[in-house]
A and B are shown apart, each in its own frame.
Chain A
Amino acid sequence: MSKEKIKINREFYDIMPKEYQELVEDATYGKEGRGWKDVGESKEMIEEHSLCAGCPESIAFRYVLACLPNPEDTVMVGSTGCTSLVFPHVAVHNIHSLFGNQNAVASGLKRALSYRFPDKVKDVVVLAGDGATVDIGLDMTLQSWFRQEKIATICFDNELYANTGGQSSGLMQKGFVAKMAPAGKKFDKVDLPEIARQSGCHYVTMLTVSKPNRVEKAIRNAILIAREIGPTYVQLYTPCILEIGKQMMEGLQEMRDSEGPGKRFEFKEYISDEAKAYLESIAPKKKRKKVTAQTEG
């Protein structure tokens, strides 16, 4: 199936854009074990976008899209923010929701998809910024977790409202002074991973995007667990270099600096017992598959 869906009719092949032709020929739809290692050797599912030069968020976007286990049957739900500038250039089905509504839209979508395609695996992935997840859409985010909706929520945490000039957000660290928050943040960074754990998420992790293999593992786990068990939450630190006063090539160092021991983005992971058992149950299957494929081949 996979590439059959996007194949071009032979008569129209030459009038289709070059990027689309490349996507049909060279993208990794339907490939087993997709991951960040495919990047650079096959067509990525994201095209030229309008994010700033050196933006760590676009690095995160590349990894997330390269790591989706089932991109042809995935629907991503985005929200207002810098992420919504990228979604028009992404080769995965996506919906733009109103600011903050992303988890509510995703809940409805997941139910409709499981009703319409009962025999198929359809993943629904929410990808939104910290403003949409924690401030404006906190109600919808939490309610979807309470209801145990089977969706994966990914939050790109840049600690402020980058798109509108740098107002403080709930995830901003205490005391930080931004362009539109000159008095400094008055209260602590909201501990959303802990809230997610308490609210019934089966897989919660917080990390930066400085290590692609870690991001790959987090995204894969989150989506696979959300498929079978229940809601999952991934918080990725993608600093806004423009608003925190860094040069465009300093984004990576900023992420490395904030993930050390005791720092605010130290790697955290929580897996519920049920989810752990599920992950273990699918791991040997894969190995078995590989073995049979080798003996057949």
Chain B
Amino acid sequence: MYAVAEVIDEDCVAHKGCRLCIMYCPEANTILFDAEKKVAKVIEPSCKGCELCVVVCSAAKHNAIRLVHR
């Protein structure tokens, strides 16, 4: 069982210009900006589940990312 990040679309404020999770994710091409839905999206196969995105998102009080088990 692996833990991967999941974006809660309703809470994501990427349309306001927030790029925290995209910026601080240590993996390349893993959290991308979805230009159509205007939210961040996680490419699950390359997520290592380090939880750094959850930390930065909740520190900014957006709480739009959680870890889920797959």
Contacts and interface: CB of A to CB of B under 8 A. Distances in A.
B55 A252 contact: yes
B16 to A, nearest CB: 15
A43 B50 contact: no
Contacts of B32: 40-41
Most chain B Cβ neighbours within 10 Å, of A40, A48, A252: A40
A44 B52 contact: no
A127 B53 CA distance: 26
A43 B56 CA distance: 23
A98 interface: no
B46 A251 contact: no
Interface residues of B, number: 23
B7 interface: no
A244 interface: no
Nearest to A249: B51
Interface of B: 19, 22-29, 31-33, 35, 40, 46, 48-52, 54-56
Contact of A46 (B24, B28, B49): B28
A51 B26 contact: yes
B40 to A, nearest CB: 8
Nearest to B48: A53
A200 interface: no
A248 interface: yes
Interface in A223-282: 248-249, 251-253
A137 interface: no
Contacts of B40: 40
A161 to B, nearest CB: 21
A249 B54 contact: yes
A62 B28 contact: yes
A73 B50 CA distance: 34
Nearest to B45: A48
A118 B19 CA distance: 41
Nearest to A61: B28
A248 B51 contact: yes
A252 B29 contact: no
Contacts of B19: 37, 39-40
Contact of B35 (A41, A43, A59, A251): A41
Given A53-B50, A252-B55, A40 B31 contact: yes
Given A48-B28, A54-B26, A252 B52 contact: yes
B28 A53 contact: no
B24 A40 contact: no
A53 B4 CA distance: 11
Contacts of A44: 28-29
Nearest to A37: B19
Contacts of A36: 23
Nearest to B56: A252
